[in-house]
Structure 1
Amino acid sequence: MDWLQVVVLSLIQGLTEFLPVSSSAHLILVPALTDWNDQGLVFDVAVHLGSLLAVVFYFRHDLQRMATSWIKSLRGNTLREGSEDPDARLAWWVLLATIPVCVVGLVLHDVIEVGMRSPILIAVGLIGFGLLLGYADWHKRAGRSEYQLSLRDAMLIGLAQAMALFPGTSRSGITITAALLLGLSREGAARFSFLLSIPVIVLASGLEIVSLIQAPHDIDWLSLAVGVLLSGLSAYLCIHYFIAFIKRIGMQPFVVYRIVLGLWLLWLFW
């Protein structure tokens, strides 16, 4: 890869991993608009690692409290909605809400990878789920935070997250949509979505690393280091400014962007 490709792909990964705009759609556009070769699995793992480091660092204080409380919760019952330890309960909700996407991903992995990566399907996902995000944002203004989720709420958001395996949906987009429909505030919906991304990225990257071990590649360590750095920095800034942005303006700019991008993909590939 040349350095322009390293920079562009790293920034795309870092920004689109957490914005509700579908990273798969943007990665489809790159080869469509350039003559670049596929970047390869090694680089994909590196930029996902950058995104993971960014979200972990951003929520480091929350995660420390959640981990400490979760370990303590193993000795008692903290899953009740009225529990005195909301950090433990939130940790449990993140873990339990990750189960549906793991099950669906394992069962349908080959179908998704082989038969559902067409630009047309991605365009349909962008437009359809973009309109759903717009409806969720218009429909209700509630003030619940991520700490006020019930088990039912968490599992419904987890089931919605499994739908992100459909191309063009956007993992962050569908989880934020579900959270808004369940009555969370925009900030609460975004924060829970970002927390949910941590186990998903860990598990997905783990599967990719297993593939790498089974089929070793020559590694350009400098390109990987730059990819991790740029992906991590752009992802961190994305999380920080996205939360501040949606508190003031909402999701509508992202809805418009998804529809325009989806129509463009239809025009390119129909």
Structure 2
Amino acid sequence: MSVLSSIFLGLVQGVAEFLPISSSGHLSLFQNFFGLVSAEGSLFFDVLLHLGTLIAVFVYYWKDIVALVKEFFHLIACVFSREKRRQMKRLPPNGRLILMIIVATLPLFVILPIKDKVEGLYGNTIFVGCALAVTGCILFFSDRMARGKKGPKSATMLDALLVGVGQAVAVVPGLSRSGTTISAGMMRGFHRRFAVRFSFLLSIPAVLGANILSIGEAVREGIDVSLLPAYIVGTLVAAVSGYFAIRLVNLLADKGKFGNFAYYCWGIGAAAVVASLIFR
């Protein structure tokens, strides 16, 4: 793997992870049509690319994350302190948000038993192309819904659970995790900015969990030390491009132009299906 390839793949991961166009779908297409991620040690590189996008979330939402961590430890203290429990009449917004993230993460555990079958879909470019088309439909209709007003104070745990179901379904290559979760939030009446914020904060446990499950396998697969410079460059590119992609998604969702990505997903999905049939 060259440094140029790592830059390209880092850019694809950073942009497609947060823009609602499916990073898994794009990486699958690039792998199958161009062989760009078939190098030895690619699983380790994949883990690093996801680490880069995780860094982007931490940098962009660092104030939220710090506040949530503080609130988390405060809630733990309340569990062991009767006096603090009496003082806290109801969960504060950050406390509710923490609980919502936990509830929304639970559906991912249902996917674990079929993880290998889902990963097997990465080689089916016709399926990936169709899934990208479905992503386009989700985005197209979500932007045409009435603007919701729900935030951490008014959103329910059922809302969070249904967004989490969307995240679990979006492990399928070609379905956008961000697009599905943000759209699910909008459908449940979330304010557009809160839908984006919740989606990206929800990605933290999902990406961390996926990396923890993959790191052991990546080490067993082998790490080519000579490729470390390319790996590092790709990770940094994923982090930087991911940060600006988050900014762009927030801007477009707030302006009601989130659905514009639907046309891109339809185009790429159709091209993938046609190319699969021609070059099969």
Name the counterpart of 2:127.
121
The separation in 1 between residues aligned to 2:251 and 2:224, in whole angstroms, is: 41
Gaps of 5+ in 1: none
- Say which one has the larger Rg: 2
1:200-250 deviation digits (Å, cap 9, x = unpaired)? 110111111111233432222211211111110000111112201221242
Aligned partners of 1:213 and 1:187: how far apart in 2? 39
Structure-2 change in CA distance of 1:193 and 1:21 (3 Å):
same
Q: Is the 8 A contact 1:83 1:89 kept in 2?
A: no
Q: Distance in 2 between matches of 1:115 and 1:126?
A: 13
Q: Please tell me whether residue 232 in structure 1 is matched to residue 239 in structure 2.
A: yes
The answer to whether the 8 Å contact 2:136/2:265 transfers is yes
Partner AA of 2:66 in structure 1: Q
Cα separation, 2, equivalents of 1:18 and 1:148: 25
Q: Which amino acid aligns with 2:129?
A: A
Distance 1:50 1:239 in 2: 13
Match of 2:190 among 174, 179, 184: 184
* Structure 1 residue aligned with 2:140: 134
Q: How far, CA to CA, are the matches of 1:68 and 1:163 in structure 2?
A: 31
- How far residue 116 of structure 1 moved from its aligned partner, in angstroms, is 6.0
Indicate the larger mover: 159-168 or 194-203. Answer: 159-168
- TM-score, normalisation: structure 2: 0.88
Matched, 1:41 2:43: yes
Count of residues in Structure 1 that have an aligned counterpart in Structure 2: 266
Quickly say closer, same or farther: Cα 1:34–1:225, change in 2 above 3 A: same
Contact 1:13/1:47 (8 A) holds in 2: yes
Identify the residue that residue 3 of structure 1 maps to in structure 2: 3
- The offset of 1:114, in angstroms, is 2.0
**For 1:141-189, what per-residue CA distance to the aligned partner results, in whole angstroms no more than 9, with x for missing partners?**
2232355321111111111111112221111111111101001122211
Q: In structure 1, how many angstroms separate the alpha carbons of the residues matched to 2:167 and 2:184?
A: 9
8 Å contact from structure 2 (residues 150, 191) kept in 1? yes
CA distance in 1, matches of 2:63, 2:94: 11
Quick one: percent identity of the two aligned structures?
Answer: 32
Letter in 1 for 2:70: T
- The structure 2 residue matched to 1:51, chosen from 50, 53, 64, is 53
Alignment of 1:208-223 (within 5 A): 208-219=214-225, 220-223=227-230
- Cα distance in 1 for partners of 2:106, 2:91 equals 25
Query: Please, which runs of 5 or more residues in structure 2 have no aligned partner?
Result: none
TM-score, L = length of structure 1: 0.91
Q: Is the 8 A contact 1:146 1:192 kept in 2?
A: no
> For residues 196 and 51 of structure 1, what CA distance do their matches in structure 2 show?
13
Aligned equivalents of 2:264 and 2:6: distance in 1? 25
Q: Is the 8 A contact 1:70 1:89 kept in 2?
A: no
CA distance in 1, matches of 2:197, 2:121: 32
Bigger mean CA offset, 82-91 vs 227-236: 82-91
Q: Which runs of 4+ in 1 moved over 4 A?
A: none
Q: Which residue of 2 aligns with 1:96?
A: 103
Q: Is 1:17 the counterpart of 2:24 in the alignment?
A: no
Contact 1:70 1:92 (C-alpha < 8 Å) held by counterparts: no
Equivalent position of 1:68 in the other structure: 70
- Tell me how far apart the structure 2 counterparts of residues 237 and 147 of structure 1 sit (CA, whole Å): 28
